Amino acid sequence: MEESRNNQVSESHDRNLTASATAVQLPNLLLASSSPRRSEILRLVGWPFQTVAVEVDESLRNSEAADEYVERLALAKAQDAATRHAGELILAADTTVVIDKQILAKPGDADEARQMLQTLQGRWHQVLTGIALVINESSQVAHEVTDVRFAPMSEAEIAWYAATGEPMDKAGAYAIQGQGARFIKEIKGDYFNVMGLPVRLLYELISRNR
């Protein structure tokens, strides 16, 4: 009788472990992005994925708010990939920087990078990332906001950082995970969002539909 009871307890425990493992299992994603930073984040948190390159027009529309902008572009990227990858769960994202209601996208050249850094130095700004999940005709879109404060920067520091080339493919002309980290005084919110992919928000969207 005792052995039978122990077996029942063991079987119940195994079922609970299996259920727990299923609850936190991450679905494979098709990342519609060539961004090495987003791939790095997914690898870091152990999320299985493959990548596919996409091209969309990233022009800002008249009177478009930053949150609308990043969500629209994220969805456009995911939908572009979905036309070639039916039945796969596609993730896309878009990140921008906002200060004084002005959107700072990727700088076009070193001069523009220096101008952006001059605007940001010594001040708070917001980083917004829109993410979209698409599978066939179904889609989810959301965005995350993180507040970031730059330390004051000298003209020499601004010129040096712009000359490194690191700011050139980054919204707001800096990389928090790179050499730009030395100029970040404080953040409020999701660090990964500043890198380009808010992992917690992604996990929440995935969990809603389990």
HSE-CB of 20 using CA atoms within 13 angstroms: 6
Number of Cβ within 10 Å of residue 171's Cβ equals 24
Give the position of tokens 């698409």: 134
Q: How far apart are CA 165 and CA 142, in angstroms?
A: 31
Q: How far apart are CA 61 and CA 107, in angstroms?
A: 18
Positive or negative, the Cα torsion across 189, 58, 65, 78? negative
Q: Given 57, 94, 109, 111, which residue is catalytic?
A: 94
Q: How far apart are CA 170 and CA 184, in angstroms?
A: 15
Q: How far apart are CA 7 and CA 2, in angstroms?
A: 9
57 is catalytic: no
- Strand, helix or coil for residue 159: helix
Active site residues: 94
